[in-house]
């Protein structure tokens, strides 16, 4: 049942409508290497204790602490070194009174020992050394299970699999990992004015930049996006290509054709697909006419043809939908606060998103709009690493004000080394 009337809803409400859909990808089992950038489909438990045995956190000598009683500068106590073991080895000696085993960082404590003398705490001779302090039981020892016990949940279902996650999975021997499938995305740029990147320019036409941009945004999420041929403003063929994309992909993104103008076919396309329109007007600029619908368990995103609005729509709605479908725990845009370094005097009847550049310096984080911010100012996107988010119903943000900022590009920061 398509919604024809356009009532703007708040951005937060729009995100909630997107992520409350019961649309999820399947659980699959993949190899450890393949699991990166997926979402864990089940809790992961520790398969052994860490440490697995009492071990030495230093290079030194394993001894019996009771032998050290009374040691001080005037009363040095001598130990006889009876063995020498590396990190992967285990001593087969049993350590007796005033005996020691030379031990490497990470090596198991030899039988009978309960303390480690660090190299710098000794005076070494040939096969012996002396110490000048006493040691407590378990001094300089990493105890079995002190980090993790068997069965402890070490990774949670819904966690994004990053490098640290991979390290944990490897540690516990998970050569296969249960994850959710990544959704695939079909991208359809619409508009009779659009040319392909390699086409010669023609009067009144522009090249399609939203299609490649969405493919790139998808790749940032390690998703595969398939670009369909540019659709001219023709209802029947547009319905056909959207249907075809829906048959092959979990998400179909159209760009353009959502301006409230004469050639806006989206409502008719959604009607033909019997799609449920979640909303078709959001209290935001740019991109107020961003539309999201669902049909046959697939998401349909109607993003604006304006590149800034298209980018904003992807970050605000497509990305959370993708993470939601994969069962992720963390699905919202990443927001920080920064000091605005230029006046921004425009009224914001709706929540306004402004392409911006965040810089960190010793005083904190500052932000400036990243350039010309009119419709289609595609260069401003390339020079931004963030979006300033100004609440609706406000006017007159000034230099020095603190504003909310969504970080969009972790790699685009250019700054002095301040370490």
Q: Which of residues 199-258 bind a second copy (CB under 8 A)?
A: 199, 201, 203-217, 219-220, 233
C-beta of 377: minimal distance to a second copy in Å? 6
- For the sheet containing 251-255, what is the strand order? 225-227, 185-189, 251-255, 298-303, 291-295, 276-279
Q: Which two tokens stand for residue 161?
A: 């699999």
Structure token pair of residue 268 = 């008719």
Which of 132, 377, 394, 403 is the binder for a second copy (CB under 8 A)? 377
| 70 neighbors 123 (Cβ within 8 angstroms) | no
* Binding-residue total with a second copy (CB under 8 A): 121
SS3 assignment, position 130: strand
410 belongs to the binding site for a second copy (CB under 8 A) = yes
Return the residue of 63, 321, 368, 407 that touches a second copy, per CB under 8 A: 407
Q: What are the backbone dihedrals phi and psi of residue 235, each rounded to the nearest 5 degrees, phi first?
A: -60, -50
User: What residues numbered 334-363 form the site for a second copy, per CB under 8 A?
Assistant: 334-337, 351, 360
- Those residues whose C-beta lies under 8 Å from the C-beta of residue 54, and which sit 6 or more positions away, are 108, 109, 114, 138, 141, 142, 143, 144
Choices 1-9, 31-39, 69-77, 247-255 (CB under 8 A): range interacting with a second copy: 31-39
| Residue 415 touching a second copy (CB under 8 A) | yes
List the one residue from 135, 299, 311, 350 that touches a second copy (CB under 8 A): 311
Stretch that binds a second copy, among 21-29, 125-133, 190-198, 273-281 (CB under 8 A): 190-198
Residue 219, classed as helix, strand or coil, is helix
In contact, 391 and 348? CB cutoff 8 Å:
yes
- Choose which of 33, 69, 73, 126 interacts with a second copy (CB under 8 A): 33
Distances (CA, A) of 321 to 87, 130, 251, 270: 47, 65, 9, 19
- Give yes or no for a cis peptide into 51 (omega within 30° of 0): yes
Interface with a second copy (CB under 8 A), residue from 22, 74, 175, 345 = 175
Map residue 73 onto helix, strand or coil.
coil
Q: Which of 27, 259, 268, 394 binds a second copy (CB under 8 A)?
A: 259
Measured from the Cβ of residue 217, the count of other Cβ atoms closer than 10 Å reads 21
Q: Coil, helix or strand for 311?
A: helix
Q: How far is the CB of 25 from a second copy (least distance, A)?
A: 17
Q: Output the smallest distance, CB 296 to a second copy, in A.
A: 27
- Minimum gap (Å) between residue 138 Cβ and a second copy: 14
The neighbouring-strand residues paired with 117 are: 61
One of 17, 30, 59, 394 touching a second copy (CB under 8 A):
59
Query: Residue 73, interface with a second copy (CB under 8 A)?
Result: no
Whose Cβ is closer to a second copy: residue 87's or residue 235's?
87
Site for a second copy in 272-301 (CB under 8 A): none
């Amino acid at each position: 049942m398509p919604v024809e009337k356009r009532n703007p809803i708040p951005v937060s409400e729009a995100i909630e409508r997107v992520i409350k859909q019961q649309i999820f990808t399947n659980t699959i089992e993949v190899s450890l290497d393949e699991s990166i950038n997926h979402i864990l489909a089940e809790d992961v438990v520790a398969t052994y204790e860490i440490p697995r045995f009492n071990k030495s956190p230093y290079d030194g000598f394993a001894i019996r602490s009771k032998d050290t009683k009374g040691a001080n500068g005037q009363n040095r106590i001598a130990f006889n070194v009876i063995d020498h073991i590396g990190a992967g080895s285990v001593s087969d000696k049993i350590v007796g009174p005033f005996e020691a085993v030379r031990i490497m960082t990470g090596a198991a404590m030899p039988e009978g020992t309960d303390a480690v003398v660090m190299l710098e705490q000794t005076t070494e001779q040939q096969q012996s050394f002396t110490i000048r302090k006493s040691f407590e039981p378990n001094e300089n020892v990493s105890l079995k299970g002190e980090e993790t016990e068997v069965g402890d949940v070490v990774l949670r279902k819904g966690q994004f699999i990053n490098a640290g996650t991979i390290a944990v999975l490897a540690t516990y021997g998970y050569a296969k990992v249960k994850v959710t499938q990544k959704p695939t995305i079909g991208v359809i740029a619409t508009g009779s004015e659009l040319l392909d990147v390699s086409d010669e320019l023609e009067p009144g036409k522009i090249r399609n930049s939203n299609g490649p941009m969405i493919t790139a945004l998808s790749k940032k999420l390690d998703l595969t996006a398939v670009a369909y041929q540019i659709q001219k403003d023709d209802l029947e063929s547009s319905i056909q290509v959207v249907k075809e994309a829906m048959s092959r992909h979990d998400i179909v993104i159209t760009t353009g054709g959502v301006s409230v103008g004469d050639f806006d076919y989206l409502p008719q396309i959604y009607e033909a697909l019997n799609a449920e329109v979640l909303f078709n007007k959001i209290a935001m600029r740019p991109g107020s006419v961003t539309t999201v619908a669902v049909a046959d368990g697939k998401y349909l995103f109607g993003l604006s043809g304006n590149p800034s609005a298209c980018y904003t729509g992807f970050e605000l709605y497509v990305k959370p939908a993708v993470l939601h479908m994969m069962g992720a725990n963390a699905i919202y845009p990443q927001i920080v606060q920064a000091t605005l370094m230029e006046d921004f005097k425009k009224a914001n009847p709706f929540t306004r998103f402004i392409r911006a550049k965040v810089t960190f310096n010793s005083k904190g984080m500052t932000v400036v709009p990243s350039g010309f911010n009119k419709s289609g100012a595609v260069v401003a996107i390339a020079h931004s690493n963030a979006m300033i988010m100004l609440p609706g119903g406000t006017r007159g943000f000034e230099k020095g004000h603190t504003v909310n900022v969504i970080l969009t590009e972790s790699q685009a920061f250019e700054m002095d080394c301040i370490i």
